[in-house]
Structure 1
């Protein structure tokens, strides 16, 4: 199928030159084969992005592309035929007078033809916002598009008898709203583009935006969440409940757990997606030690006992440490003798 350069760069058709350049640099860094060595399709995508930028960054080729689409390379020839081609729709059956020159024959070398014979597929673009839960489980969306369809009066020819079709104004198309049901696969993430072809003339490109979640932060196929653990469980060990996308699970916290320590729970993340992908990513539970703002008198007394015990252990350790002798004039010679003895 013809390549849509605007869709390839992810920019609208009225994008400014700076926006085109910014999109190209971002995608070039992302898909450069020397950088993205893990994706077998990165090199092909990089070439497509580069081709799109070469066309859209040049004002002349961009004008030709905007006017002639995938046939922009034949712009000079097509401009030469524009005058003759404009009058053909007035003729019955796509011929001019009795000369027998058909539209298909004239424009066949350029891949055009009538409005829906061999015309370039129209590319539509829309954005869809979903929740993380929908991205995890997969979801469906009903999307209404306003795209060109063959005129029901002239069946796409653009003529009615010997005059322009009054229903479509001679364009051969009519703008009819259609509602499509689109399936968003499991594991979809922000920035993913889903391509749908409801018919052989229309291509719908859907860019997905996954809303931020109040509990989880997404990192590719992994999820990260903060888990509160009491200071006692952090010191002595214990169990905490960890939220996942399918419900809570119990995590055993070892004694001596420190603030910010991460525990990786295999297979509890997002579904992996993409060509050949399977399984799920991981869930990273990040420990946040919770300290109470208020304590009862009994709790304070027990903690004071613990502190006293701890201070006693520190004093014992300090008593076991012998202070070094003060340096004397003969200290250097003693050090030298000791060093010599060790040798």
Structure 2
């Protein structure tokens, strides 16, 4: 049985890091995936070689054994053969995307790593279904409260619960709602990206809300009550006499809901913007003039 250079198959150096091995594998697996190259026997063979190489090099103990014996791998069976095979059977992991079964590993792999231990009885190659990707467009006030929504994906209706506090650009995965698997393989997943449009007068930063409220000059000078809108209703505020333009206050717990923390909210920050009266009457001008004279005394 000929020696197989797994490093060459993945196009990496022998001193490649775990991350470099993972990146090389994922890149090649996407390129040679059977779904993208239907009825191409050469591509299918290449795809199996790539997965076999990853099965060895991504597994610390297997890679150590492979690096140690190299082309003389056949002598490895004389060194703790039984123990090594049992350890591999316990610890071996499935490839990142697919499971392989009877007849899919090379003789080199089987002799060196006990490949038959991870085979399925069916003798057919099982492939995981591909993922579906969808974008869900919502308004900010849509995600202030948890609610249910029905999505139509690939002609199928899927009932979703949208948690309160979902953020713009956030991605969630719904397991098993993607494409059908091949030869009894598992279904892919539905991956949803949220696009949240802020259709409100509030600015959202993390879980805090920010807004500016107009305050008339007289109330700013003399104080009084002011009713404002928050995300979940109106609130009456007490305005202190001589409130300055740009004054900021915080309403604790009146911000945006915190994702997956029911009953927890950020804060609402309000900035007062004093509105100067316009189109003054002659009487108003006279009174302001008298007031200004008093201030100069």
Give the TM-score normalised by structure 2.
Answer: 0.59
**Which secondary structure state, in structure 2, belongs to the residue aligned with residue 242 of structure 1?**
strand
* Distance (whole Å) between structure 2 residues aligned to residue 182 and residue 53 of structure 1: 37
Match of 2:128 among 107, 120, 133: 120
Gaps of 5+ in 2: 1-16, 35-45, 54-99, 106-114, 178-185
* Distance (whole Å) between structure 1 residues aligned to residue 242 and residue 119 of structure 2: 73
**Contact 1:227 1:285 (8 Å CA) reproduced:** yes
Gaps of 5+ in 1: 1-49, 79-102, 147-176, 313-343
**Which secondary structure state, in structure 1, belongs to the residue aligned with residue 274 of structure 2?**
strand
By how many angstroms is 1:222 displaced? 1.0
Of structures 1 and 2, the larger Rg is shown by: 1
**Contact 2:141 2:199 (8 Å CA) reproduced:** no
RMSD of the alignment, in Å? 3.5
**Is 2:282 the counterpart of 1:292?**
no
Find the counterpart in structure 2 of residue 279 from structure 1: 264
Find the counterpart in structure 2 of residue 250 from structure 1: 236
Find the counterpart in structure 2 of residue 269 from structure 1: 255
* Distance (whole Å) between structure 2 residues aligned to residue 181 and residue 231 of structure 1: 52
**Contact 2:128 2:188 (8 Å CA) reproduced:** no
**Contact 1:228 1:290 (8 Å CA) reproduced:** yes
For these two proteins, the number of residue pairs brought into alignment is 206
Shift of the 280–112 alpha-carbon distance from structure 1 to 2, 3 Å rule, reads farther
Moved beyond 4 Å, runs of 4+: 50-56, 71-74, 108-114
Find the counterpart in structure 2 of residue 13 from structure 1: none
Find the counterpart in structure 2 of residue 172 from structure 1: none
**Is 2:130 the counterpart of 1:144?**
no
By how many angstroms is 1:298 displaced? 2.1
**Which secondary structure state, in structure 2, belongs to the residue aligned with residue 232 of structure 1?**
helix
**Contact 1:271 1:281 (8 Å CA) reproduced:** yes
By how many angstroms is 1:224 displaced? 0.9
**Is 2:103 the counterpart of 1:106?**
yes
